[in-house]
Structure 1
Amino acid sequence: MNLHQFRFVQEAARRNLNLTETAKALHTSQPGISKAILELEEELGVDIFVRHGKRLKRITEPGLEVMQSIEVILREVGNLKRIGQEFSKQEAGTLSIATTHNQARYVLPNPVAALRKRFPKVAISLHQGTPETVAQMVLTERAEVGLATESLSGYPDLVTLPCYEWEHVLVLRADHPLTQHPRVTLEDLAREPLISYHPAFAGRTRLDQAFTQRHLEPNFVLEAFDADVIKTYVRLGMGIGLVAEMAVRDDPLMVPGGELVSRPVGHLFGRNVARIAFKRGAYLRNFVFAFAELISERLSRESIEQAMVATSNGHEGSDYGL
């Protein structure tokens, strides 16, 4: 048996047993993958997959056990590679980060720039997507680090730690009547056309929950993936915006006398927690720890290592040591 066979089996499972998609993902041929999997099954003496003709239909019971072992083996192979890279290249390599638009646009620029200054031989690979995409990229080791507000804590194979808290702000045209209200209420917002994030992004869950708890039906007329788009449509008069507070900092449209104004609405929707994620059992290089420390004062190499050890021993590691 060999690592190629293990990767073929793992990728086939990830691709819903579609060998055509598996072959595309691994840049090889479908017959080659089929042959390699059959040879592995013959060597193990068990069927990993149930077949219908040439198609894979489902994973067998012994196949599930084989899959767990393959996950461990390939994870440790990845760790060996990272160990070799760290000790052979010292402070060089590529840091792959999976995150959402808000984090990439408003939170990460300074930490990334500081990391590059400290580790000039480290290249940064930045991937943007939904929180679910962020989680999957870390789980499949396409990214070493994930950063998002929604969803990350719901994956048992991820170690997630809180980085910082933030609240939503209301974005209004300077001439909107709500700018004169001393304290905006949920009832005020429910009467207005609202522009905010897609339900998968940036604490949108809290917005929906707050309205539901008050038995109000908000009128979301436009949903977007990033705050820049939301602010653009607010400027056009389509409605009022709800965005993350970091999206209005240093915005020239928000200066006194500018086109837009913002109002904090944390009293309506509460505080959101942005979290950093690592794959459980992964080997983290020195510059990964350094990057985490640059993102948040809450994070340190010691706290991250404690969380990784605690989770690998079967304990919840989400807020360990923080």
Structure 2
Amino acid sequence: MNLHQLRFVREAVRQNFNLTEAAKALYTSQPGVSKAIIELEEELGVDIFTRHGKRIRGLTEPGRAVLRSVELIMQEIDGLKRIGKEFAAQDSGSFTIATTHTQARYALPRVVQAFAQRYPKVRLSLLQGNPKQVAEMVLKDQADMAIATEAIASIDGLISLPCYQWEHVVVVPHDHPLTRITPLTLEAIAAYPLITYDSAFTGRAKIDHAFQLRDLKPDVLLEAIDADVIKTYVELGMGVGIIAGMAYDADRDKGLRAIPVGHLFGTNVSRVALKQGAYLRGYVYSFIELISPTLTRKLVEQVMNGEKEMYEL
């Protein structure tokens, strides 16, 4: 048994059981991958994959158990490599964050700026997607960290910690009738066409749930993944916008007024998610502390080590 065989098994699964693609990803030959997997199966005495002719189609039941062990072993190997790199260069390296547009555009700029000033030798990358996509990026080792809303809180294989709370706001032109209604109600909002987030983003589920509880069916005229797009169409008079509070800037959005609606749609929590068992370099802890000072390195290490299972704001 060797590490190459384990890498081949993991990559075959990642490439949807396509050995040709697995071989390309690992810069080797397809026959070599196939032979190594067969040799591993013979050594273990079980079939890892189900087959149709020469093609593999899926994992057998013992194969799923083998894959879990392979993932743990390869994760430990990656951790050992990172340890060596960190002690060789404490303040340099690469750091990839997967996050949503709202976080990248509104919540992270000052954090990223402060981090870049503190660690000028670290190459920082931001990948964007919806909460499910950014979680997958971390699970597949395409990113070191995910930052999104509650949607990433209960995904197997991730450790998730809350960073900060926020509420939605309704955005309308300054002379809009909703600005004269206090307190604002769901019925009043539902009387107008709505422009808000796509269902995969930024607390949209809470918005829909609030209307459902009151048996209201608002006319969602337009869905977007970008608050700037939502605000643009609100300024054109096409409808009432519902966006994350952090996405409204009174200085920039001078043509709009924001009305807090936390009393209608509740409080949302942005979270940071890390791969369970991952080895974190020192500057990753520093980045987390910049996002939320309450998330100290000691606390994060406790959670990563399973010493403290729950932490909430």
Please indicate, yes or no, whether the TM-score normalized by the shorter chain is above 0.5. yes
User: What's 2:302 paired with?
Assistant: 306
- In structure 1, how many angstroms separate the alpha carbons of the residues matched to 2:253 and 2:108? 22
Shift of 1:24: 4.8
- In structure 1, how many angstroms separate the alpha carbons of the residues matched to 2:283 and 2:264? 39
SS in 2 for 1:277: strand
Q: Which amino acid aligns with 1:42?
A: E
Contact 1:162/1:318 (8 A) holds in 2: no
Task: Name the CA shift for 1:251/1:134 in 2 (closer, same or farther; >3 Å).
Answer: farther
User: What's 2:249 paired with?
Assistant: 249
User: What's 1:174 paired with?
Assistant: 174
User: What's 2:82 paired with?
Assistant: 82
User: What's 2:44 paired with?
Assistant: 44
User: What's 2:187 paired with?
Assistant: 187
Q: Which amino acid aligns with 1:234?
A: V
User: What's 2:264 paired with?
Assistant: 268
Structure 1, unaligned stretches of length 5 or more?
none
- In structure 1, how many angstroms separate the alpha carbons of the residues matched to 2:159 and 2:142? 16
Contact 1:131/1:201 (8 A) holds in 2: yes
Q: Which string of whole-angstrom CA distances, capped at 9 and with x for unpartnered residues, describes residues 100-124 of structure 1?
A: 0011111111111111111111110
Shift of 1:133: 1.0
User: In the alignment, does 2:216 pair up with 1:220?
Assistant: no
Q: Which string of whole-angstrom CA distances, capped at 9 and with x for unpartnered residues, describes residues 234-276 of structure 1?
A: 112221100001100354223xxxx211111111001000000
- In structure 2, how many angstroms separate the alpha carbons of the residues matched to 1:195 and 1:181? 19
Shift of 1:28: 4.5
Alignment coverage as a number of residue pairs? 313
- In structure 1, how many angstroms separate the alpha carbons of the residues matched to 2:99 and 2:79? 22
Q: Which amino acid aligns with 1:72?
A: L
Q: Which amino acid aligns with 2:157?
A: D
User: What's 1:294 paired with?
Assistant: 290
Q: Which string of whole-angstrom CA distances, capped at 9 and with x for unpartnered residues, describes residues 10-44 of structure 1?
A: 12223332334434544554444323322322333
Task: Name the CA shift for 1:110/1:199 in 2 (closer, same or farther; >3 Å).
Answer: same
SS in 2 for 1:287: helix
Q: Which string of whole-angstrom CA distances, capped at 9 and with x for unpartnered residues, describes residues 210-230 of structure 1?
A: 011111112111111110111
Task: Name the CA shift for 1:181/1:250 in 2 (closer, same or farther; >3 Å).
Answer: closer
TM-score computed with the length of structure 2 as normaliser: 0.94
Contact 1:96/1:143 (8 A) holds in 2: yes
Deviation larger for 164-173 or 56-65:
56-65
Shift of 1:182: 2.4
SS in 1 for 2:241: strand
SS in 2 for 1:161: strand
Task: Name the CA shift for 1:237/1:51 in 2 (closer, same or farther; >3 Å).
Answer: same
User: What's 1:117 paired with?
Assistant: 117
- In structure 1, how many angstroms separate the alpha carbons of the residues matched to 2:48 and 2:274? 29
SS in 1 for 2:10: helix
- In structure 1, how many angstroms separate the alpha carbons of the residues matched to 2:178 and 2:43? 71
- In structure 2, how many angstroms separate the alpha carbons of the residues matched to 1:209 and 1:8? 45
- In structure 2, how many angstroms separate the alpha carbons of the residues matched to 1:139 and 1:117? 29
Task: Name the CA shift for 1:25/1:231 in 2 (closer, same or farther; >3 Å).
Answer: farther
Structure 2, unaligned stretches of length 5 or more?
none
SS in 1 for 2:271: strand
Identity %: 57
User: What's 1:6 paired with?
Assistant: 6
- In structure 1, how many angstroms separate the alpha carbons of the residues matched to 2:195 and 2:30? 46
User: What's 2:311 paired with?
Assistant: 319
- In structure 2, how many angstroms separate the alpha carbons of the residues matched to 1:210 and 1:168? 12
Q: Which string of whole-angstrom CA distances, capped at 9 and with x for unpartnered residues, describes residues 81-113 of structure 1?
A: 110111011111111111100111111111111
- In structure 2, how many angstroms separate the alpha carbons of the residues matched to 1:24 and 1:171? 49
- In structure 2, how many angstroms separate the alpha carbons of the residues matched to 1:25 and 1:192? 51
Task: Name the CA shift for 1:281/1:239 in 2 (closer, same or farther; >3 Å).
Answer: same
Task: Name the CA shift for 1:262/1:52 in 2 (closer, same or farther; >3 Å).
Answer: same
Task: Name the CA shift for 1:180/1:275 in 2 (closer, same or farther; >3 Å).
Answer: same
- In structure 1, how many angstroms separate the alpha carbons of the residues matched to 2:310 and 2:55? 40
Task: Name the CA shift for 1:220/1:48 in 2 (closer, same or farther; >3 Å).
Answer: same
